[in-house]
C-alpha cells in the first residue's frame, strides 16, 4: 500500500479507542481497548511500562489495531516500538487535544507505544 492510499484518515483521527492485540510469551493473544492517537500515519498508545501490552511488545513487537466499529472495520497489522520520554511533541499535543491528557506529566504512564502499520487487512471508509 502506498503512503496514505485509501486510508480512512478522518475515522483514524476521530475514533476514541482502538482494540490493541499483542501476543503473550506463551503464544496466547492479549486484546484490550485503549486510547490512542493517529499521528504521521502511526498509532500511538501511552501506557505503563509494566502493563501486559508493553511487556508483550518488548518480547514480540508484532501488533494489530482495530477501530471499535465492527460495521465498518479498520484493522492494521504492524510492528511496535516502545518509546520513553521525552515523547515527540506532536504526539503529546495530539493526546492533549483529543483527551485533555498530558502524557508527559502522568507518572503512571511511562512508555509510549508507536505502531507502524505494515498491512491493512480491512479498511472500510
Asked if residue 1 is part of any domain, the answer here is no
Cβ atoms 91, 29 nearer than 8 A: no
| pTM of the model as a whole | 0.93
Q: Residue 82 sits in which domain range?
A: 9-123
Q: Which residues is 89 bridged to in the sheet?
A: none
3-state DSSP assignment of residue 28: coil
Residues of the chain with pLDDT under 70: 1-6
Asked if residue 81 is part of any domain, the answer here is yes
pLDDT at position 2, please? Answer: 41
- CB burial class (10 A; 0-12, 13-18, 19+) of residue 108? exposed
Asked if residue 107 is part of any domain, the answer here is yes
69-97 per-position pLDDT tens digit: 999 999 999 999 999 999 999 999 999 99
pLDDT at position 1, please? Answer: 39
Amino acid at each position: 500500500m502506498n503512503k496514505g492510499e485509501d486510508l480512512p484518515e478522518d475515522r483514524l483521527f476521530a475514533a476514541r479507542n482502538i482494540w490493541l492485540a499483542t501476543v503473550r510469551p506463551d503464544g496466547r493473544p492479549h486484546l484490550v481497548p485503549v486510547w490512542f492517537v493517529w499521528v504521521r500515519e502511526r498509532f500511538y498508545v501511552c501506557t505503563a511500562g509494566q502493563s501486559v501490552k508493553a511487556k508483550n511488545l518488548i518480547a514480540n513487537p508484532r501488533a494489530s489495531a482495530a477501530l471499535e466499529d465492527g460495521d465498518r472495520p479498520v484493522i492494521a497489522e504492524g510492528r511496535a516500538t516502545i518509546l520513553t520520554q521525552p515523547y515527540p511533541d506532536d504526539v503529546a499535543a495530539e493526546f492533549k487535544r483529543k483527551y485533555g491528557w498530558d502524557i508527559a506529566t502522568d507518572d503512571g504512564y511511562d512508555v509510549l507505544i508507536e505502531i507502524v502499520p505494515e498491512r491493512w487487512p480491512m479498511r472500510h471508509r
